[in-house]
Structure 1
Amino acid sequence: MSVDMQHLAINYIALTDSGEHQAHYRDGLISSNVAVANLVETLHLAYNGKPAKGYASFNPEKSARVPQALADWQADQTDFLGFAKATTDALVVELSQHQLPETGYVLLAHYRYLASDYLLVCLLGSKDHFELSEQLELATSRHLDIGRMQLAARLDLTEYAVNAAKGNYISFIRGRAGRKVADFFLDFLGCTEGADARVNSQKVLASVEEYLGAAEFDASEKTSARRQVFDYCEERAKSGQDVVLTELSAVVDPEQSNGFLHYCAEQQLDVAEQFPVEVKELKKMVKFNGAGGGLSLSFDEKLLGERIKYDIKTDTLVITGTPPNLRDQLQRFSQGYSAFDQGSE
């Protein structure tokens, strides 16, 4: 892992007694040191680890505050601190207009990773921790709640500079707070949503399955190919990178590295040359899971047809061999727990 920190600015947005948003600005950037570099890397990993992301690009019909502030910074008409202040001001305006009670620390991190420049913008909450000194004196400290990062977006500055027309150089966390919050963050950035990672993932699922059938892979080859495809896509998503169709083709069928690529073109499967994916959706390639009516099941795809049989007509699963801990619970329940207790004496 090698995240090269360039700039880090932190401001704070609070609510006044009258319920209005108010920004508090730090006078300077955060000085670079090992701890700060670790913080930026932690932010990078936390952002990459979020499973549901959307992709967007700037829209001239929306607010120009952030795009203009970005242009001024990149043209050296202002420094990163000025850019951070202008961006924070834009966030305050949108929070007020949308009448949302969100508050917290505004972090703007400019860093390099894998030869690309990124700008991460996030609004983080905080939580208090309790500490005890050697004299058992109690003290509290405030920590950034990075684990609950929800309002965040990342701009691929390198992609934006060389291929802005393609779009989708901005990613954002969809979050669990509902579309209103996601829409508010897009309005704040002045962008509109573009590529849908979930739809792209569904296309990958369908296209790979079509190819495996057309190429007459046997059951074990299909299982291996699905696992390889999932591992490749998961690695790309976790590193914040798009899936590349030529690379994916070589993963699907190593013996004919362009086989899947040519199949997609011949069948007009509408798979882009490069696209973002959603790991949660792709997990269906390698695992079945579901819950409802008091029943929860999850098992690896490779077990279907072997230890697990499914009858589509009767909607029945037959499982041969249960996990040891489940088997122990079932046996104890069936034979009576007291019988096991007596046997162990």
Structure 2
Amino acid sequence: MSVDVYQLTIHYLEQDAEGQPRAHQREALISTNAQVCHLLEQLHLAYNGKPAKGYARFSDEKETTMQASVQSWLAQETDFLKLANLATDELIKQLVQHQLTESGYLLIAHYRYLATDYLLFALLGSKEHFSVTPELELASARHLDIARMQLAARIDLTEYQANPQHPHAISFIRGRAGRKVADFFLDFLGCEAGSDAKENSQQVLSSVEEYLTAGEFEPVEKHQVRQQVYQYCEEQSKQGQDVVLKELSEALDPSDQDGFMRYCAEQQLTVAEQFPVDVKSLKPLVKFSGAGAGVSLSFEQKHLGERVLYNPEQDTLTIRGIPPNLKDQLQRFLRGE
């Protein structure tokens, strides 16, 4: 993986005695070295791996504080530290307005991965780690908690500069709070909702199934196609890249690489030519799963009719070859252990 870090600063946000957020800001940028590049590499992977992201674009009706700040910085009218300070002030303002009690280390970075430039805003918490010294004494230190990153947004600068109105040039992690966090980021960045990754992914799911049915594929072929589609989309998501309809069509049916594209056009199916993907929405391509009344089940589609038998008339599932860990639990329970 190749991550080039151009500029980075870190501010610290905390709650004051009145419970209001305030920032301790650096007066200079952090020098770039191998350690900094490794940190941004981990942040990039962690951000790409977050399943629930929203997408947006700057409003074309009015120029907001953040939009003006980013454009001024890109035009080299202001430096990166001033952009970071303005962003921090705007972040605090929106935290107050949205009544979000967040604290931690605010990382603002300009970096490049492969051929794409990004501007990242990430608020990270910290956690304590313990170690043992050579003298067998306990020592502790605080570390950035990258894995639990929940408040972060990123601008694809390469996409934005090529097309300021691109519907997913801006992305953000929705987090567990869902709509509240989405509204916060839309106000913080001064942008409007763009592409809906979940909606686009669900459209792909239904379109692929229609294509398989119309093409009269054999059951084994259907399974292979679903696997290929899912693997392609999953890999794009891990890389932080959009799904491209032409590439998806090639992955779906190598023997007729434009077949899926033609089918979508002929049937007037609304599959976008390029879009961010929500991998979770595509799980039904490869797995059956469900939960209710204290029972949770999940199994790969390829096992239906073989290891897993479904009887719709009796509303039953018969499982052949119970997973070893589940079998062990059942046997121990029956033995009274």
Scaled by the length of structure 1, the TM-score of the pair is 0.93
The answer for the alignment partner of 1:341 in structure 2 is none
- Does structure 2 conserve the Cα–Cα contact (< 8 Å) formed by 1:62 and 1:187? no
The alpha-carbon deviation at position 152 of structure 1 amounts to 0.6
SS of residue paired to 1:154: strand
Distance 2:25 2:63 in 1: 22
Q: 1:37-76 maps to which residues of 2 (within 5 A)?
A: 37-60=37-60, 64-76=64-76
What do you get for the CA RMSD once the two structures are aligned? 1.8
The alpha-carbon deviation at position 254 of structure 1 amounts to 0.8
- Does structure 1 conserve the Cα–Cα contact (< 8 Å) formed by 2:54 and 2:182? no
Give ranges in structure 2 of 5+ residues lacking alignment.
none
User: Structure 1 12/63 Cα, relative in aligned 2: closer, same or farther at 3 Å?
Assistant: farther
**Percent of residue pairs identical:** 61
Q: 1:1-345 maps to which residues of 2 (within 5 A)?
A: 1-60=1-60, 64-331=64-331, 336=335
User: Structure 1 40/197 Cα, relative in aligned 2: closer, same or farther at 3 Å?
Assistant: same
The answer for the alignment partner of 1:342 in structure 2 is none
The alpha-carbon deviation at position 314 of structure 1 amounts to 3.0
User: What amino acid is aligned across from residue 92 of structure 1 in structure 2?
Assistant: I
User: Structure 1 300/27 Cα, relative in aligned 2: closer, same or farther at 3 Å?
Assistant: same
- Does structure 2 conserve the Cα–Cα contact (< 8 Å) formed by 1:62 and 1:190? no
CA offsets 1:235-289 (integer angstroms, 9 cap, x no match): 0011111000001001111111010000000001100100111111112211112
SS of residue paired to 2:321: coil
User: What amino acid is aligned across from residue 213 of structure 2 in structure 1?
Assistant: G
The alpha-carbon deviation at position 327 of structure 1 amounts to 3.4
Distance 1:39 1:118 in 2: 15
- Does structure 2 conserve the Cα–Cα contact (< 8 Å) formed by 1:63 and 1:187? no
When the two structures are aligned, how many residues end up with a matched partner?
Answer: 337
SS of residue paired to 2:305: coil
Distance 1:74 1:280 in 2: 35
User: Structure 1 62/15 Cα, relative in aligned 2: closer, same or farther at 3 Å?
Assistant: farther
SS of residue paired to 2:112: strand
- Does structure 1 conserve the Cα–Cα contact (< 8 Å) formed by 2:110 and 2:120? yes
- Does structure 2 conserve the Cα–Cα contact (< 8 Å) formed by 1:155 and 1:169? yes
- Does structure 2 conserve the Cα–Cα contact (< 8 Å) formed by 1:52 and 1:174? yes
The alpha-carbon deviation at position 102 of structure 1 amounts to 1.2
Distance 1:307 1:324 in 2: 14
The alpha-carbon deviation at position 293 of structure 1 amounts to 1.9
Distance 1:131 1:27 in 2: 32
The alpha-carbon deviation at position 337 of structure 1 amounts to 5.7
The alpha-carbon deviation at position 105 of structure 1 amounts to 1.2
The alpha-carbon deviation at position 312 of structure 1 amounts to 2.6
User: What amino acid is aligned across from residue 230 of structure 1 in structure 2?
Assistant: Y
The answer for the alignment partner of 1:343 in structure 2 is none
Distance 1:60 1:159 in 2: 16
The alpha-carbon deviation at position 325 of structure 1 amounts to 3.4
- Does structure 1 conserve the Cα–Cα contact (< 8 Å) formed by 2:94 and 2:187? yes
User: Structure 1 330/130 Cα, relative in aligned 2: closer, same or farther at 3 Å?
Assistant: closer
